[in-house]
């Protein structure tokens, strides 16, 4: 049976064999912290250091994975339904994790985390989704309006990823590998004048010229180095103030790194006219705040062809939301996954 699609009832309605409501356990798992709660929406949240490569660079991948299984198995109550938001590329049909550099380094052998959790705690019903999927569900619950057909959430952070949900059918489509929206690993078009200077930048996955190669948080640092910006290693701290001061180097860096993100949004709307709402969050978008939003909107307002006639402020105001820190929470979102389980399908 599929790990994610193990049951069609919402998490809150799950019952034990004895007929009593099952305890709800939720966790949001990242490379730095693991946040957990027991009892459903509004329950207290516990935050503990993540057993990850970031925290323990000396430990083997096998040890780190075992530590993660042990942590979750120790915290989940007996007979609970557990919903996990996982910061990695994950097969939403089986619970297999394809890879996560912050958690396990460069290890790219698929790991059946769901199977290990079931072996450790067979009394628990485990549901695993990617953290961007969980964030999408929280974003949609807050921002979707009556009549919204499809909604997307794009995170621009240490990595870049996107998820799209069909609200009319309560469906999150995935491919035969259980994936959707790993857009950070698409090849980026360098179309701005002078953008060729950024050609060949590496991505964390080992390839080059990916969207994440220059538009993610680490990508900004790489792009800043390539442009010869003296403060490149501290770009996250330097860039907001430099943009406030209208520093030309900072402005150029923002323009080049925002351009492929705007291109992605144009492509999405070109391919899917029913995509009524897109949210953008993550550390880069949140950290640069108004500067980032203004640059993306400026580019989207510019017509590029008859297929892309430009979008005015009113049109974008109805369809594009830039989320601030804490406004989208994967831990809250993953509690909603029960309603969507039957619709996570290829």
DSSP 89-123: EE-TTT-EEEE-HHHHTT--S-EEHHHHHHHH-TT
What does CATH list as the number for 182-273+283-322?
3.30.420.40
pLDDT band at residue 205 using 50, 70 and 90 as cut-offs: confident
Length of the chain: 346
Enter the pTM of the model: 0.89
Phi first, then psi, for residue 11 (nearest 5°) are -55, -40
Answer yes or no: are the C-beta atoms of 296 and 258 closer than 8 Å: yes
CATH class of 11-129: alpha beta
Q: How far apart are CA 268 and CA 121, in angstroms?
A: 41
Q: pLDDT (tens digit, 9 = 90+) per residue, 23-66?
A: 999 999 998 899 999 998 999 999 999 999 889 999 999 999 99
- Those residues whose C-beta lies under 8 Å from the C-beta of residue 257, and which sit 6 or more positions away, are 214, 215, 219, 220, 223
Do the domains 182-273+283-322 and 11-129 match in fold?
yes
- The pLDDT assigned to 53 comes to 87
Strands of the sheet containing 111-112, edge to edge, are: 89-90, 96-99, 111-112
Question: For 136-192, what is each residue's pLDDT tens digit?
Answer: 999 999 999 999 999 999 999 988 999 999 999 999 999 999 999 999 999 998 888
Provide the sign of the torsion angle of the four alpha carbons 222, 224, 226, 231, taken in this order.
negative
Helix (H, G, I), strand (E, B) or coil at 153: strand
**Residue 2 structure tokens:** 């599929």
Higher pLDDT, 303 or 52: 52
| Count of other CB atoms within 10 angstroms of residue 57 | 9
Q: What is the mean pLDDT of residues 225-231?
A: 93
- Torsion angle, CA of 225/292/90/46, rounded to 10 degrees? 100
The residue among 259, 30, 251 whose CA lies nearest residue 159 is: 30
Q: How many CB atoms lie within 10 A of CB 6?
A: 15
- Return the pLDDT at 21: 64
Distance CA 246, CA 241 (A): 9
In angstroms, the CA 339 to CA 166 distance is: 13
Domain ranges for the chain, please list them: 11-129, 182-273+283-322
Q: How many Cα atoms occupy the beta-carbon half-sphere of 235 within 13 Å? A: 28
């Amino acid at each position: 049976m599929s790990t994610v699609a193990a049951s069609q009832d919402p998490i809150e309605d799950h019952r034990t064999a004895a007929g009593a409501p099952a305890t709800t356990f939720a966790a949001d798992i990242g490379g730095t912290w693991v946040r957990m709660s027991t009892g459903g929406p509004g329950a207290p949240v516990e935050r503990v250091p993540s057993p990850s490569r970031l925290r323990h660079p000396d430990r083997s991948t096998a040890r780190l994975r075992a530590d993660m299984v042990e942590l979750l198995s120790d915290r989940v109550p007996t007979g609970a339904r557990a919903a996990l938001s996982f910061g990695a590329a994950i097969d939403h049909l089986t619970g297999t994790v394809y890879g996560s550099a912050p958690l396990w380094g460069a290890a790219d052998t698929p790991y059946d985390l769901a199977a290990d959790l079931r072996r450790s705690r067979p009394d628990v019903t485990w549901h695993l989704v990617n953290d961007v999927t969980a964030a999408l569900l929280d974003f949609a619950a807050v921002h979707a309006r009556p009549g919204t057909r499809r909604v997307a959430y794009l995170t621009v952070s240490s990595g870049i990823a996107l998820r799209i949900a069909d609200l009319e059918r309560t469906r999150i489509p995935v491919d035969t590998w259980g994936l959707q929206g790993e857009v950070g690993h698409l090849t980026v078009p360098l179309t701005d004048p002078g953008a060729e200077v950024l050609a060949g930048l590496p991505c964390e996955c080992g390839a080059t010229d990916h969207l994440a190669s220059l538009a993610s948080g680490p990508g900004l640092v790489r792009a800043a180095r390539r442009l010869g910006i003296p403060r490149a290693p501290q770009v996250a701290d330097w860039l907001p103030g430099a943009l406030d001061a209208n520093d030309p180097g900072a402005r150029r860096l923002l323009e080049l790194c925002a351009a492929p993100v705007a291109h992605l949004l144009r492509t999405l709307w070109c391919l899917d006219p029913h995509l009524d709402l897109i949210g953008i969050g993550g550390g880069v978008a949140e950290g640069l705040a108004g500067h980032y939003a203004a640059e993306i909107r400026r580019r989207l307002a510019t017509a590029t062809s008859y297929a892309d006639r430009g979008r005015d402020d009113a049109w974008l105001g109805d369809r594009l939301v830039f989320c601030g820190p804490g406004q989208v929470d994967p831990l809250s979102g993953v509690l909603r996954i029960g309603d969507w389980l039957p619709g996570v399908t290829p």
